[in-house]
Amino acid sequence: MLLARDAARARQLVERYPGARTLVGDLADPDRLSWAFSKQPVPEQIDSLLHIAGIVDLGPVGELRPKTWHQQLNVNLIAPAEVTRLLLPTLRASRATVVFVNSGAGLTAHAEWSAYAASKHGLKALADSLRAEEKPHGIRVTSVYPGRTASPMQAKVHSQEGKEYDPAHWIDPESVATTIVMAVDLPRDAEVNDLSVRPGR
Protein backbone atom coordinates (compact mmCIF):
# COMPACT_ATOMS: atom_id res chain seq x y z
CA MET A 1 0.00 0.00 0.00
CA LEU A 2 1.48 3.33 -1.11
CA LEU A 3 0.32 6.80 -0.09
CA ALA A 4 -0.07 9.24 -2.98
CA ARG A 5 -0.63 12.98 -2.73
CA ASP A 6 -3.41 12.94 -5.36
CA ALA A 7 -5.21 10.68 -7.82
CA ALA A 8 -2.80 11.42 -10.67
CA ARG A 9 0.17 10.42 -8.54
CA ALA A 10 -1.69 7.29 -7.44
CA ARG A 11 -2.09 6.24 -11.07
CA GLN A 12 1.62 6.82 -11.69
CA LEU A 13 2.54 4.63 -8.72
CA VAL A 14 0.26 1.80 -9.84
CA GLU A 15 1.81 1.92 -13.31
CA ARG A 16 5.31 1.90 -11.85
CA TYR A 17 4.61 -0.81 -9.27
CA PRO A 18 2.11 -3.27 -10.80
CA GLY A 19 -0.06 -4.89 -8.17
CA ALA A 20 0.42 -2.07 -5.67
CA ARG A 21 -2.56 -0.50 -3.95
CA THR A 22 -2.74 3.18 -3.07
CA LEU A 23 -4.28 5.53 -0.56
CA VAL A 24 -4.66 9.18 -1.57
CA GLY A 25 -3.83 11.85 0.98
CA ASP A 26 -1.73 15.00 0.85
CA LEU A 27 0.90 15.07 3.61
CA ALA A 28 1.25 18.81 3.07
CA ASP A 29 -2.32 19.20 4.37
CA PRO A 30 -2.53 16.91 7.41
CA ASP A 31 -5.80 18.47 8.60
CA ARG A 32 -7.56 16.81 5.64
CA LEU A 33 -6.03 13.34 5.95
CA SER A 34 -8.85 12.05 8.15
CA TRP A 35 -11.43 13.15 5.57
CA ALA A 36 -9.39 11.68 2.71
CA PHE A 37 -8.97 8.31 4.40
CA SER A 38 -12.68 8.15 5.26
CA LYS A 39 -13.49 8.20 1.54
CA GLN A 40 -11.30 5.19 0.68
CA PRO A 41 -10.95 1.56 1.77
CA VAL A 42 -8.17 1.21 4.34
CA PRO A 43 -6.36 -2.14 4.68
CA GLU A 44 -7.68 -4.45 7.37
CA GLN A 45 -4.14 -5.63 8.15
CA ILE A 46 -0.92 -3.60 8.16
CA ASP A 47 2.25 -5.45 9.12
CA SER A 48 4.53 -2.43 8.79
CA LEU A 49 4.09 1.31 8.34
CA LEU A 50 7.02 3.17 6.81
CA HIS A 51 7.19 6.94 7.11
CA ILE A 52 9.67 7.95 4.41
CA ALA A 53 8.40 11.17 2.80
CA GLY A 54 10.03 14.48 3.66
CA ILE A 55 10.85 17.95 2.38
CA VAL A 56 13.68 20.35 3.15
CA ASP A 57 14.24 24.08 2.74
CA LEU A 58 17.38 25.59 4.21
CA GLY A 59 17.91 29.10 5.47
CA PRO A 60 18.99 31.10 8.52
CA VAL A 61 16.45 31.60 11.28
CA GLY A 62 16.43 35.33 10.58
CA GLU A 63 15.16 34.75 7.04
CA LEU A 64 12.74 31.82 7.37
CA ARG A 65 9.09 32.85 7.08
CA PRO A 66 6.30 31.00 8.91
CA LYS A 67 5.18 29.40 5.62
CA THR A 68 8.52 27.59 5.32
CA TRP A 69 8.27 26.36 8.91
CA HIS A 70 4.68 25.19 8.43
CA GLN A 71 5.48 23.34 5.21
CA GLN A 72 8.31 21.32 6.74
CA LEU A 73 6.54 20.67 10.04
CA ASN A 74 3.39 19.55 8.23
CA VAL A 75 5.08 17.04 5.93
CA ASN A 76 7.90 15.88 8.18
CA LEU A 77 6.16 15.70 11.56
CA ILE A 78 2.44 16.42 11.77
CA ALA A 79 1.42 14.25 8.81
CA PRO A 80 3.31 11.17 10.08
CA ALA A 81 1.64 11.64 13.46
CA GLU A 82 -1.79 11.92 11.86
CA VAL A 83 -1.33 8.96 9.50
CA THR A 84 -0.21 6.87 12.47
CA ARG A 85 -3.20 8.00 14.53
CA LEU A 86 -5.65 7.17 11.77
CA LEU A 87 -4.19 3.70 11.23
CA LEU A 88 -3.52 2.92 14.89
CA PRO A 89 -6.43 0.49 15.42
CA THR A 90 -5.22 -1.60 12.48
CA LEU A 91 -1.59 -1.34 13.58
CA ARG A 92 -2.56 -2.61 17.03
CA ALA A 93 -4.57 -5.51 15.66
CA SER A 94 -1.65 -6.46 13.40
CA ARG A 95 1.05 -5.95 16.06
CA ALA A 96 2.81 -3.91 13.40
CA THR A 97 6.24 -2.35 13.12
CA VAL A 98 6.30 1.41 12.52
CA VAL A 99 9.46 2.85 10.97
CA PHE A 100 10.19 6.57 10.91
CA VAL A 101 12.93 7.44 8.43
CA ASN A 102 14.40 10.40 10.23
CA SER A 103 17.73 12.11 9.44
CA GLY A 104 21.07 12.93 10.96
CA ALA A 105 19.44 16.35 11.37
CA GLY A 106 17.08 14.71 13.84
CA LEU A 107 20.03 14.25 16.19
CA THR A 108 22.13 17.37 15.56
CA ALA A 109 21.17 20.76 14.11
CA HIS A 110 23.55 22.90 12.07
CA ALA A 111 23.43 26.45 10.76
CA GLU A 112 20.62 27.06 8.25
CA TRP A 113 18.98 23.71 9.04
CA SER A 114 16.73 24.98 11.85
CA ALA A 115 13.27 24.28 10.37
CA TYR A 116 14.15 20.90 8.93
CA ALA A 117 16.07 19.85 12.04
CA ALA A 118 13.22 20.98 14.28
CA SER A 119 10.79 18.82 12.32
CA LYS A 120 13.13 15.84 12.56
CA HIS A 121 13.87 16.33 16.26
CA GLY A 122 10.10 16.37 16.70
CA LEU A 123 9.84 13.16 14.69
CA LYS A 124 12.25 11.49 17.11
CA ALA A 125 10.08 12.61 20.02
CA LEU A 126 7.00 11.28 18.24
CA ALA A 127 8.65 7.89 17.72
CA ASP A 128 9.91 7.67 21.29
CA SER A 129 6.50 8.53 22.74
CA LEU A 130 4.67 6.17 20.39
CA ARG A 131 7.03 3.34 21.33
CA ALA A 132 6.35 3.80 25.03
CA GLU A 133 2.60 4.14 24.53
CA GLU A 134 2.08 1.23 22.17
CA LYS A 135 4.44 -1.39 23.58
CA PRO A 136 1.55 -2.97 25.52
CA HIS A 137 -0.24 -3.41 22.18
CA GLY A 138 2.74 -5.15 20.58
CA ILE A 139 3.65 -2.33 18.21
CA ARG A 140 7.36 -1.95 17.53
CA VAL A 141 8.74 1.49 16.64
CA THR A 142 12.07 2.13 14.93
CA SER A 143 13.74 5.41 13.98
CA VAL A 144 16.34 5.31 11.20
CA TYR A 145 18.74 8.25 10.93
CA PRO A 146 20.41 8.22 7.50
CA GLY A 147 23.23 10.57 6.71
CA ARG A 148 23.33 12.24 3.32
CA THR A 149 21.76 9.87 0.82
CA ALA A 150 21.87 10.05 -2.98
CA SER A 151 18.40 11.32 -3.85
CA PRO A 152 16.54 14.23 -5.47
CA MET A 153 16.29 15.78 -1.99
CA GLN A 154 20.06 15.68 -1.62
CA ALA A 155 20.46 17.30 -5.04
CA LYS A 156 18.15 20.08 -3.85
CA VAL A 157 20.14 20.49 -0.62
CA HIS A 158 23.37 20.84 -2.58
CA SER A 159 21.75 23.44 -4.82
CA GLN A 160 20.61 25.42 -1.77
CA GLU A 161 24.11 25.13 -0.32
CA GLY A 162 25.66 26.27 -3.61
CA LYS A 163 27.64 23.05 -3.90
CA GLU A 164 28.19 20.61 -6.75
CA TYR A 165 26.23 17.38 -6.29
CA ASP A 166 27.83 13.99 -6.96
CA PRO A 167 25.61 11.08 -5.86
CA ALA A 168 28.64 8.77 -5.78
CA HIS A 169 29.79 10.52 -2.59
CA TRP A 170 26.68 9.64 -0.61
CA ILE A 171 24.75 6.65 0.71
CA ASP A 172 22.97 4.55 -1.89
CA PRO A 173 19.21 4.53 -1.14
CA GLU A 174 19.28 0.73 -1.35
CA SER A 175 21.59 0.68 1.66
CA VAL A 176 19.02 2.61 3.68
CA ALA A 177 16.29 0.28 2.40
CA THR A 178 18.33 -2.72 3.54
CA THR A 179 18.52 -1.21 7.02
CA ILE A 180 14.75 -0.71 7.10
CA VAL A 181 14.07 -4.27 5.96
CA MET A 182 16.36 -5.58 8.69
CA ALA A 183 14.39 -3.70 11.35
CA VAL A 184 11.03 -4.84 9.97
CA ASP A 185 12.05 -8.49 9.54
CA LEU A 186 13.67 -8.79 12.96
CA PRO A 187 12.11 -11.64 15.00
CA ARG A 188 9.41 -10.55 17.41
CA ASP A 189 11.60 -11.20 20.45
CA ALA A 190 13.59 -8.04 19.63
CA GLU A 191 13.06 -4.43 18.62
CA VAL A 192 15.45 -1.92 17.08
CA ASN A 193 14.80 1.49 18.60
CA ASP A 194 17.33 3.72 16.78
CA LEU A 195 19.60 3.12 13.81
CA SER A 196 22.14 5.65 12.51
CA VAL A 197 23.39 5.09 8.96
CA ARG A 198 26.38 7.18 7.89
CA PRO A 199 28.12 7.50 4.51
CA GLY A 200 30.89 4.92 4.24
CA ARG A 201 32.91 6.71 1.59
Active site residues per annotation: 116
98/105 Cα distance (integer angstroms): 20
- Collect all residues with Cβ–Cβ distance below 8 Å to 47 and sequence separation of at least 6: 94, 96, 97, 184
Q: Three-state secondary structure along 6-64?
A: CHHHHHHHHHHCCCCCEEECCCCCHHHHHHHHHCCCCCCCCCEEEECCCCCCCCCHHHC
68/74 Cα distance (integer angstroms): 10
- Collect all residues with Cβ–Cβ distance below 8 Å to 38 and sequence separation of at least 6: none
